[in-house]
Amino acid sequence: VEVLTCYPGLHALLLHRISHWFWGHRLKWLARFLSTLARWFTGIEIHPGAQIGNRFFIDHGMGVVIGETAIIGDDVTLYQGVTLGGTSWNKGKRHPTLNDGVVVGAGAKILGSFEVGKGAKIGSNAVVTKEVPAEATVVGIPGRIITQQDKANVQVKKDMAEKFGAYGLSPDMPDPVAKSMGVMLDHMHAVDRKLECVTQKLREMDASYEDEDLPELKDEDFSAAIESPNEPSDAEATATQKSETLVS
């Protein structure tokens, strides 16, 4: 009952199915009038000429715009503020085609007559004006495809970040000190890996050198830096007590 009565994405889709039927049977004024009512009730604008597949899902929905010649496959998901628009006034195909399983993040704009491949993901607020391969991920303005190398670099950074989170802050937080410490720690971990490779080669060559294990970088080594700045350390507390004793 809640889904049937409280989900504007479902309401917009059901009304579009009807208006699209009218459009296909040359009742274009009635189709446009019904789509206008749907936009007024739901905040979602779907042209009655748009072709939409099965299990199409619009989450939240406000501000979604789907153009006349847009084609949407099965199992496609759109979030609020998405635009499937055109870049010309030509009467032919001028809106994008979204193949099966595409997910488009909030605020993204896909403009032009081209295909977004099966299973592709469009990041929030991205502006896409070129064809997107299947299973690709597009982010940024203008839209940029994240390569496998980019994904590998992201994974390396995540692995390093798990070893020590400076002050317990997230890399997304705008803290320049934490960011600087994160860069230094990334460099230290990279140096450790290279040094381990060098020592391994020396062991294989039976080189005579003092093989000592380096001290591990542990989170507890940085516990003092994680303390709240409003809480004095033990040394500061002792000094304060001595000062109060002298004054009294």
160 burial via Cβ count (<10 Å: 0-12, 13-18, 19+): middle
Single out the residue in 88, 114, 146 at which a domain terminates: 146
pTM (two decimals)? 0.57
Nearest-CA neighbor of 46 among 76, 71, 74, 73? Answer: 71
Say whether both 174 and 197 belong to one domain: yes
Does residue 202 share a domain with residue 89? Answer: no
Looking at the structure, tell me whether residues 133 and 52 fall in a common domain. yes
Domain that holds residue 33: 2-146
Measure the CA–CA gap between 74 and 77, rounded to whole angstroms.
9
Number of domains making up the chain: 2
User: Which of 146, 175, 198 corresponds to the end of one domain?
Assistant: 146
**How would you label 38-53 residue by residue, b for 16+ Cβ within 10 Å and e otherwise?**
bbeebebbbbbbbebe
- Give the contacts of 199 (CB within 8 A, at least 6 positions apart): 211
Q: Are residues 16 and 28 in the same domain?
A: yes
CATH number of the domain residue 50 falls in: 2.160.10.10
Q: Where a domain ends, among 146, 169, 190? A: 146
Same domain membership, residue 218 and residue 158: yes
Residue 173 shares a structural domain with residue 120: no
- Tens digit of each residue's pLDDT, the chain (248 residues): 777 777 888 899 999 999 999 999 999 999 999 999 999 988 999 999 999 999 998 988 889 999 989 999 999 999 989 999 988 887 889 999 999 999 999 989 999 999 999 999 998 899 999 999 998 889 888 888 886 555 556 666 666 555 544 444 445 555 666 667 777 888 888 888 888 888 888 777 775 656 666 666 665 555 555 444 445 555 555 555 555 554 45
DSSP 213: P
Same domain membership, residue 141 and residue 26: yes
d(CA 27, CA 23): 5
Q: Does one domain contain both 142 and 156?
A: no
* Among 175, 214, 177, CA closest to 192: 214
One domain, residues 154 and 142:
no
Same domain, yes or no, for 201 and 171?
Answer: yes
